[in-house]
Structure 1
Amino acid sequence: MARLQSNMHDLLTEEVLKALFSKNIYTVLKFIQAEIKQIGSITTLQYKDIVTIRKHLLNKHSAVVTNALDHWNELVSKTALIPTGIKSLDRILQGGLTTGNIYEICGLPSSGKTQLCLTLMKNVSLLNLNVFWIDTKGDFTGRKMRSMLDANGTSEDVMSKMLVKQLHTQHDLVSALYQIKEDVYTRKLRLRLLIIDSLPPLFYQSQDFERNYGVMNDFVNVLHFLARELQIAIVVTNIITTWYEGDFNVDSAITEKLGLGKYWYNVANTRFVIKKDRLTILKSNRLLKGVSCPIRICDEGIV
């Protein structure tokens, strides 16, 4: 899952990388899987140069073989349970957010998705854990977070645990995730929670299905890596849209659809829907489907 970089090989110049990225070849895996002729047509590299680079990357990035028991023991030792600070939510989560999992919060526009994420960021930061927020809508403001902390009677010093990045394109999103990976490894960033609010604004920008699918595939791959290999709990928000078929006065003609299509549907380990004053589990690979909890919005966030 390593991202291609110029320091990996002398022949991987910035010009070559730019050409590869333009065709959604961001990672070592994608480079190795691509046909040599395809790489040659995209870049100025000769056949023998491509073979040389591939051999070098394979030697450097080949997986180390371990037995299943060692893998399981390592996973258990790294996994952590992070309380959300919302008592009713922690009950249906059986204690809190589990690292290594991807959680999705979906709902109609203005249903409280961002407010819930802000509350998660505040409460997890109060546990002295770093939280990274990727903002695609421009909804995150320090003033709002400060007011929530004030209502909670908490010092603003906790905001030093909150890392925020605003971005506006699919490419920026993928690059940001790779940068987080590098920061964890090189800067020893201790990160337990990553929040992305929200995905649809980026993936609805383009009508190019093939490009969207390619970027989505890269995004999901690195998201799984961050969750599983670095043991980070990931929370993303998604939108639900309402569709009317036929007569607008007939309730049975109203259907609700989850954003981002079928490919995304099975990515999250646990999906919640937020409606009015309740949060309900729509799907999960370990929690009870259909279980819900009451929530209430106040000055200090959601309780």
Structure 2
Amino acid sequence: MNIIKAFLRSDNNIYFLDSRQKLSTKTLKKLLNNEFKDKCLHVMNKLLIKRIHDKYEIISALFDIKNELDNNANTVRLVIIDSLPTLFLTSADNTENNNILNHLANILRYLANKHHVAIIVNNLITIWAEGDISAINNIHERIACGKYWKTVPNFRIKLKKLRQSIEICLVKSNVIQNQKHCSVEMNELSK
């Protein structure tokens, strides 16, 4: 939410593609009222929320955004895809999923390169243990959208919630040395 608030201070619009149906207008208004008070309605109009129910709708929504930008109908500078894996975990057809992920990656690259749109994709990491419960040999982390998606983003940041802080780790970067860590206290996040 802090990223959304920072972008809303500018004159640009944000697309929030909500696959979990978690972002309500009431919650958003309450969150923004504290900071924007008199301009809350104006600020809320800059956040374009689209509910996404399946992997085909995400492609359609991104093409709509592409067409708006190509026709100069919008000044979007940030697209947030909340929980990409929820759109793909219902299907066991890995070939189709990888084809759609490839299509998705191409549209996102187009938006980033042609229109200078920042894109944040929320993905999940699953933990897998080898061996039985009494003798776990290795623990592996896997990206929920599979090995293909591991190569797609320019930057991958892993957030891990600790007791009173959040650990931030740069896992993949084309410009910064990978595996850089920092911790942020929880009370700093609420500012």
- 1:218 aligns with 103
Q: Are positions 1:285 and 2:174 aligned together?
A: yes
Distance 1:147 1:285 in 2: 38
More helix by percentage = 1
- 2:25 aligns with 142
Q: Are positions 1:199 and 2:84 aligned together?
A: yes
**RMSD (Å), alpha carbons:** 2.0
Task: Report the alpha carbon displacement of residue 278 of structure 1 after superposing the two structures with TM.
Answer: 1.5
**TM-score, scaled relative to structure 2:** 0.87
Distance 2:133 2:2 in 1: 36
Structure 1 counterpart of 2:131, from 239, 246, 250 = 246
- Partner of 2:45, secondary structure, is helix
Runs of 4+ in 1 over 6 A off after TM superposition: none
- What percentage of aligned pairs have identical amino acids? 32
May I ask how many residue pairs the two structures share in their alignment?
Answer: 185
Task: Report the alpha carbon displacement of residue 148 of structure 1 after superposing the two structures with TM.
Answer: 2.1
Distance 1:240 1:198 in 2: 11
Distance 2:45 2:30 in 1: 15
Change (3 A) 1:297 1:131: farther
Structure 1 unpaired stretches of 5+:
1-117
Distance 1:142 1:296 in 2: 28
- 1:28 aligns with none
- 284-293 or 147-156: bigger deviation: 147-156
Which one-letter code corresponds to 2:80 in the other structure? Answer: I
Task: Report the alpha carbon displacement of residue 176 of structure 1 after superposing the two structures with TM.
Answer: 0.6
Higher Cα Rg: structure 1 or 2? 1
Structure 1 counterpart of 2:156, from 257, 271, 277 = 271
Structure 2 unpaired stretches of 5+:
none
Contact 1:130 1:161 in 2 (8 A): yes
More strand by percentage = 2
- 1:114 aligns with none
- Partner of 1:286, secondary structure, is coil
Distance 2:138 2:27 in 1: 39
Deviations 1:169-210 (A, max 9, x none): 111111111100111122520111110001101111211122
Question: Where does 1:14-53 land on structure 2 (aligned, <5 Å)?
Answer: none
Structure 2 counterpart of 1:169, from 46, 50, 54 = 54
Distance 2:13 2:104 in 1: 22
Task: Report the alpha carbon displacement of residue 245 of structure 1 after superposing the two structures with TM.
Answer: 2.1
